[in-house]
Structure 1
Amino acid sequence: MACIDLNSDLGESFGPWPMGDDVSMLSIVTSANIACGFHAGDPAGILSVLREAEKRGVSVGAHVGYRDLVGFGRRNMEPTSAELIGDVIYQIGALQGLAKAAGSTVRYVKPHGALYNTIAHDARQAADVIEGIKSIDPSFILMALAGAPLVEQARAAGLTVVCEAFADRAYNADGSLVSRRLPGSVIHDPQAIAERMLRMVVEGRVTAIDGTEIMLEVQSICVHGDTPAAVSIARTLRESLVKGGVELKPFTP
């Protein structure tokens, strides 16, 4: 039987400003990437999501990003190595403290937004993130974009890597994500998303935006939690995978 993990970016609400329906998403996904306060999230809200994840048996990871609350971590930045290593360590440590209070444990790291996209191909910043992770705990799993150079770089450095696909994002022929600035970069039809992800899990392939068939190594699928139809998309995807004979379970031990 094929198996897959479903993950979502959660804990991103800030004070009185809500971002997504975390409780509903936690009833659907098997892993939760929890904001660490740099791109989004406040301590009280993060703690609440961690408690809910623990209650539901959802695996928890640190969603580390650039220090960019105003830009939601989606603006490209060039921190020095010392700054980026320190920021990664700081964010993981903060989430570990909150997780301990919630009776939970941080088991993996998934970079967020611009940092995620940058380190997929930028060897210097990737090395900084890897060093930050290993400084905290070399047994942490790194979640990375399937097919990106980062995957082999991190594995060569001794980290276990889980490769990720994005349920609602279009792919280029080289396996990279189509820029959000371009039309067709985000897919909104829940059924279309479910069908393409079921095929990806079962056959290991997906149709790129130009019609090219590409192969991807994938152990986890990200369903974004901050879009208007996020819960509907995630629920339709989960139901389709289960109906297709796919087992849903966290990639963490």
Structure 2
Amino acid sequence: MDSKIIAEVGAWVREAQRIVALTGAGISTDSGIPDFRGPQGVWTRNPLAEKMSNIHCYLADAQVRKASWQNRLGSPAWSAQPNPGHLSLVELERAGKLHALITQNIDELHQIAGNSPGRVIEVHGSMRRFMCWGCGMRGPMQAVLERVRAGEADPHCRTCGGILKSDTISFGQQLVPEVIDRAMHAAGQGDLFLAVGSSLQVYPIAGTVEVARAAGSRIVIVNAQPTPFDDLADAVLPGSISEVLPRICARPLC
């Protein structure tokens, strides 16, 4: 990594007053959670996983749901811990610089690391909650996983009998308009936009980069693979996020 670029971006971080961060799966890979589209990604290695993420397949096929529940039981996210990349964003918040943290991730590692839940905008929901497709009831995912461990292969809602799923956005499922509006508004409120660990291929959230640029923010992309917005960025920092972020967010931040 070019130390001059690291130093320059570090200076931007120190100068910034309202940093907006967008995080994708790449920030959690060093915590042991595989990404989706990378060379070792979930969908790259297991095409069935993409089918389990499709809401139409999930609702129509009990076998897909049963496989999904077993997949949830064995998810590495349950034992994952925040890595230095997550902790760097906590430091930005503690320094009073982090205006908003928009995340495409469903693992809640930002909150576990110490970011304020009210500052984290979860555009794809959380795997740590369940929701009923019938009545909309929500609750802790572990409560349903205990039923799966006890032998319920395809648990249903105990209130209305509806299909249960993780409280996340599946393919074919509508994003929550209020959440997207909040993310877009936040993207336009900063003076430095950090896109971290995201392929920036999925709209509308990839469009937050354009919103930030239109608002005059500097754009910094930290990602292992190239993104469609690299040419728009003021700086592109490839490499391990858990190594790069601590270097650009090193103390003193003020």
Q: TM-score range by the shorter chain?
A: 0.3 to 0.5
**TM-score, with length taken from structure 2:** 0.33
Q: What TM-score do you get using the length of structure 1 for normalisation?
A: 0.33
Query: Comparing both chains, which one has the higher relative contact order based on Cα–Cα distances under 8 Å and sequence gaps of 6 or more?
Result: 2
Based on CA coordinates, which of the two structures has the bigger radius of gyration? 2
